[in-house]
């Protein structure tokens, strides 16, 4: 068995629910699956002495979970000032409208369809503030076109949505997600770990990662390796995405092949765009 300390990013031991940093706490949604791992991580972020909180990714439309998030905020003597969405996949966003109804707080998201109660967009250079808290918006398209991460400098942490997850690797959700964009996003995250003191990743699924640079470098190496495998498979006559998946992902649980096919389609597009296939 692989030791946890040897896994990419050094995932923290212990329960995911309640984990985090001085300013960020996870409330784990009850929607585990092969794609969502233990479930969706909803993050409550606030300054320790503030009565205002920012909630990131309310998660699925599960009334018990949404009220658990609200109860957790209230137990700390706070109220929800703002909700932020890292991207629009249903396991992060299906509960958003109901959560906005329960809180009355605005919702900010890249996609206008998810903005409620007068919430605005999320763009390069935006700083989210609430009760002294500062979260810096880091656009990271690739997993999806609307993906963002949130830099929490006070804790040396980054909320990554599905751009980096706590175990395994994420899907480039073709056709919305694009591999070139995703590689650029990972390089940007690596720069944050090297130049901006980001040491901890708070993912949208799975445990907290305490070695941010190691996790991002693993992702970059993994993507380069997979791309080389796909290129070789194409050279050997495997032309369709399904054929490539059966060849390259033969050691992966078949229940994950449909997701793998999305990533392969993104890789095939990337190879074509760069004249490599």
> Do the domain assignments include residue 9?
no
Give the confidence band of 202 by pLDDT, cuts at 50, 70, 90: very high
> Do the domain assignments include residue 260?
yes
Q: What is the CATH number of the domain that holds 175?
A: 3.60.15.10
> Do the domain assignments include residue 166?
yes
Judge if pTM exceeds 0.85. Answer: yes
Give the confidence band of 7 by pLDDT, cuts at 50, 70, 90: confident
For residue 96, how far is the Cα from the chain centroid? Answer: 16
What is the token pair recorded at 159?
């909320």
Give the confidence band of 5 by pLDDT, cuts at 50, 70, 90: very low
pLDDT in tens, 140-167: 999 999 999 999 999 999 999 999 999 9
**Strands 24-28, 41-45: parallel, antiparallel or unpaired by DSSP?**
antiparallel
How far CA 126 is from CA of 18, 65, 138, 140, in Å, comes to 28, 29, 8, 14
Q: What is the pLDDT of residue 256?
A: 87
The yes-or-no verdict on residue 4 having pLDDT over 80 is no
The yes-or-no verdict on residue 172 having pLDDT over 70 is yes
Q: Residue 82 sits in which domain range? A: 19-274
The rounded distance, in Å, linking the Cα atoms of 14 and 134 is 28
> Do the domain assignments include residue 94?
yes
> Do the domain assignments include residue 113?
yes
Q: What beta strand segments (E) does the chain contain?
A: 24-28, 41-45, 52-56, 79-84, 107-108, 127-130, 133-139, 148-152, 157-161, 200-203
> Do the domain assignments include residue 165?
yes
Q: What beta strand segments (E) does 70-213 contain?
A: 79-84, 107-108, 127-130, 133-139, 148-152, 157-161, 200-203
> Do the domain assignments include residue 211?
yes
How many structural domains does the chain have?
1
> Do the domain assignments include residue 7?
no
């Amino acid at each position: 068995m692989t030791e946890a300390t040897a896994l990419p990013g050094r995932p923290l031991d212990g329960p995911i629910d309640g984990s985090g940093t001085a300013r960020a706490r996870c409330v784990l949604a009850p929607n585990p699956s092969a794609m969502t791992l233990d479930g969706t991580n909803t993050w409550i972020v606030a300054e320790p002495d503030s009565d205002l909180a920012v909630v990131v990714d309310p998660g699925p439309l599960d009334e018990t979970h949404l009220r658990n998030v609200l109860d957790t905020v209230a137990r700390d003597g706070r109220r929800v000032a703002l909700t932020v969405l890292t991207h629009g996949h249903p396991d992060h966003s299906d509960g958003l409208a109901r959560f906005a109804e329960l809180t009355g707080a605005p919702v900010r998201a890249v996609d206008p369809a998810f903005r409620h109660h007068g919430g605005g967009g999320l763009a390069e250079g935006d700083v989210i503030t609430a009760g002294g808290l500062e979260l810096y918006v880091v656009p990271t398209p690739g997993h999806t076109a609307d993906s963002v991460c949130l830099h929490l400098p006070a804790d040396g942490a980054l909320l990554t949505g599905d751009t980096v997850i706590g175990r395994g690797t994420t899907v480039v959700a073709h056709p919305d997600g694009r591999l070139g964009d995703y590689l650029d996003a990972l390089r940007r995250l690596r720069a944050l770990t090297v130049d901006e003191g980001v040491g901890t990743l708070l993912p949208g699924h799975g445990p907290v990662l305490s070695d941010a640079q190691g996790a991002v470098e693993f992702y970059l190496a993994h993507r380069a390796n997979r791309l080389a495998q796909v290129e070789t498979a194409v050279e050997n006559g495997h032309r369709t995405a399904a054929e490539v998946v059966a060849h390259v992902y033969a050691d992966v649980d078949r229940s994950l092949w449909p997701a793998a096919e999305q990533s392969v389609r993104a890789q095939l597009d990337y190879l074509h765009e760069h004249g490599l296939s």
